[in-house]
Amino acid sequence: MKISAYIIAYNEAEKIRDCINSVLWADEIIMADSHSTDGTTEIAEKLGVKVIHIPFNGYGELRNKAIEHCTGDWIFSLDSDERCTHEVRDEILKLIENAPLDIYLVPRKNFFMGKWIKYSGWRPNFRQPQLFKNGKMSYSMEPVHEGFISKSNYDIGIIKNSIWQIPFKNTEEIIYKSNRYSSLGVSKLIKKGVKGSVFKAFVHGLWSFIKHYIFKLGFLDGGPGFVIAFGNFEGTFYRYIKLTETQADWQAPRVKKINRRK
């Protein structure tokens, strides 16, 4: 069985080498790059990766176009902030020889602020299924936090071992992603018919903080747990604020010409 690994990336020069090195065992590595300008493309090509440049119109479309270039019997999806492990490699290679299912979720173990996160909704942590037979899965077209569409008649499986995720290299990246994802998330709220307001922004943001810090036991992760919860507050709060300003279409007051009196 041949396996393709695909990676999505944009200006990830600091992360992409470790990501690629962790899947050199795959028969084929495809990187979907949205025209990086920091050397990400050059690093990938030097490591033997096939780079496909795809303009960014949302993560759902980006992933679907990436898998179109995969020729393997199986596809393994890895983001630039994720790392495969020896255990996952061995489990995948053994599994695909006689897999009872077509689609599998892959657990993620997160490293943040110098420690492995055990709570905060990050352990175990999953995104869309990351291992699937070619042709058995695609992605929905949301611009961010896209879902998946199963084309299999079987249930979704879960592999036992975990990959690593290093979601943020520093505080600046937390702020950058919060801003980027909150902007991309506005269209999802509009499609759902949600009406924005400052009050809704605060309530939804506060609930997101409480959910991660209290109910998902983020307080047990110490300082990093608080930062994770606060980051979720910020991302949610600004998503609803951006929705509000989009719907309100606020305009600055116009100023008439003010000439000097004669």
What's the per-residue H, E or C state across 55-72? Answer: CCCCHHHHHHHHHHCCCC
pLDDT given at position 143 = 84
Q: What is the pLDDT of residue 165?
A: 96
Total-model pTM: 0.88
User: In the prediction, which pLDDT does 93 show?
Assistant: 97
Burial 21-32 (b: 16+ CB within 10 A, else e): ebbeebebbbbb
pLDDT, one tens digit per residue, over 94-103 is: 999 999 999 9
CA dihedral 133, 12, 216, 194 (to 10 degrees): -80
Helix 198-210 vs helix 222-248: crossing angle, to nearest 10: 160
Helix 171-191 to helix 222-248 angle (10° resolution) is: 40
Collapsing DSSP to helix, strand or coil, 171 comes out as helix
Query: Which pLDDT belongs to residue 76?
Result: 98
CA-nearest of 159, 2, 126 to 75 is 2
Sign of CA dihedral 111, 112, 116, 117: negative
Rg of the chain on CA atoms, in Å:
21
Residue-level pLDDT at 139: 95
Report pLDDT digits (tens) over 95-146.
999 999 999 999 999 999 999 999 999 998 999 999 999 999 999 988 888 9
CATH 1.10.3720.10 corresponds to the domain 3-165: no
Count of beta carbons in the 10 Å neighbourhood of residue 165? 20
Cα separation, 6 vs 258, in Å, equals 60
**Whole-angstrom distance, CA of residue 190 vs CA of residue 142:** 12
Q: Which residues of the chain have pLDDT under 70?
A: none
SS3 32: strand
In the chain, which residues fall in CATH 3.90.550.10?
3-165
